[in-house]
Structure 1
């Protein structure tokens, strides 16, 4: 099968996690850049990447990379690309998103309309048609321009991959599934270790952890745009990837994953989400304030997304909240704590400086991932578990 360049966008600061995921799937990394990883894969790889990768928002099939400093150059360079290889005569195509950084071409709407015209002109010449019905499969095009270098890709995923299909009910200000998965992967947590989220909201951290523990592919319960691109990705590729995903699921595992929240309605939503994800039997959800956080066992993990105080009136409550979290963490025996927050005074009120602190952009919001590493369990204790 032909090899394609595939682009996996990710959160800034989490490229290493994305790279490791792709390598674990068995694909060759071509390059790692800010906010994206490019790798080589065949048609089957398009299906596998969409089904199995936990930390990317979408999989782009790279059509080309061109240099353009004027709109005329952009038109000609776009027209020169082999669009007929990807888009059939009845394909519906449009430039769904264009972003530009440090480039002479800075108007997204102009970039979109000029590139659409260029693709139409190319396909007119190749297909000897003057008008395209565009009533077939969809081929959304995404464009990113950095210093006049234009990267053009077809979106194989469609709806963003953070939408796994399980989160029908969401609490306020949720963390995305892809970011939650990436943050868990930044910790040493494994499925046989304890994990507690004392501010679980709609249950994203516990659910993503349970899916990892049971080896449930994140894309198993959803569809992808490229499933309709049968000339590029045969249906057998999707069927084989889904069959492999179902085969890998481990239904017989035991876990100690818990999610707490002070809001009973939110806990009810979290349970529903876990049920839709197929992991409700692996998670214990309970209405409980952070002041009552406790666990009898050693060597567990707190992984959480506590309130940031987005609204001014909420900020006054944060010092007491973070102070309580710090106290409850210190009362746990030999635990680790990992939390993401935009609250600048988090360490001060937690009462301890983090061992590591990683800056991560959650959308446009600058956040910090504070990492408090507890001791490792003795080897003998690990073997007994």
Structure 2
């Protein structure tokens, strides 16, 4: 009998199933990406409206969305922001400060939209609206990340490499602040009650300096601060003075869990707590431990005050209540605060003041070096080193 078996015919549909599923998934994913991209304008506009109500008006000269297939990249070229009512002295009726930035790139993974990563291209310029630019901020790299949006942020990070802030006067740029590196990390943690969250902040500065604020800040220094902020119950966008007022009303404070500053041979650490008075001034006390205190005494200006005839403005800053032109009264005041200090100051102002301030505290050891431990008090905005007023802070609202 002849074998009439037909050739085996393979089924084709199993071979086409996987490519078909991949094609359907790609079409679905593409639709989802374009839908998400279409929501960017709505989300950004809603965010801009909230910020505008808080006195911060953001705008983009050119906004575009890219990043297909796995990311959303929102690029904002020629970014601009107008700031009003962001400091205690700036009323809503005053001319806003305008800041301009070259470009902002915000990136979000399509599968994790609560995480936003941003990069900033400088320089940024600042000016009163309608006026020439007055300050310029530049950097080699700047980036940030935010976790938790669109609700209250859970974590925030901001990093700058080589930030440089200049004051512009005509065609001249004058250095105002510099740093090799600056970074800030903040996260929301549980407070003593569910409706009382706290903000833990970690701030690091390397090679930082600030001009025209206080002589102590003019030379490069490194700083590391770990702070705990309480009293922040409302995370809605609002001007900073209003937010500081809310914190004060809630009894909020800033706890210094860790603070270390090094400037040359001087090293200082601090712990303590600061709050705000009803007038918006800083109030509280920090326990300082300082090694190399004698290295910064000349920057406090006390020795110059005595040597140069005691100008009344300087005298009001470091020894309130003593009249100018009466150095004997100054030395008498120092003698009353620390017996024998006035006599030593007559002989050597720097050594005398250093000895007097050393007498304010107790002997201590800091990182293997002899040091002094003493309180640094903030009394309604005045910064007091023992009986001496060394600075005055401005109200925050």
TM-score range, shorter chain: under 0.3
Task: State TM-score, norm by structure 2.
Answer: 0.21
Between structures 1 and 2, the one with greater helix share? 1
Greater C-alpha Rg? 2
Between structures 1 and 2, the one with greater strand share? 2
Task: State TM-score, norm by structure 1.
Answer: 0.21
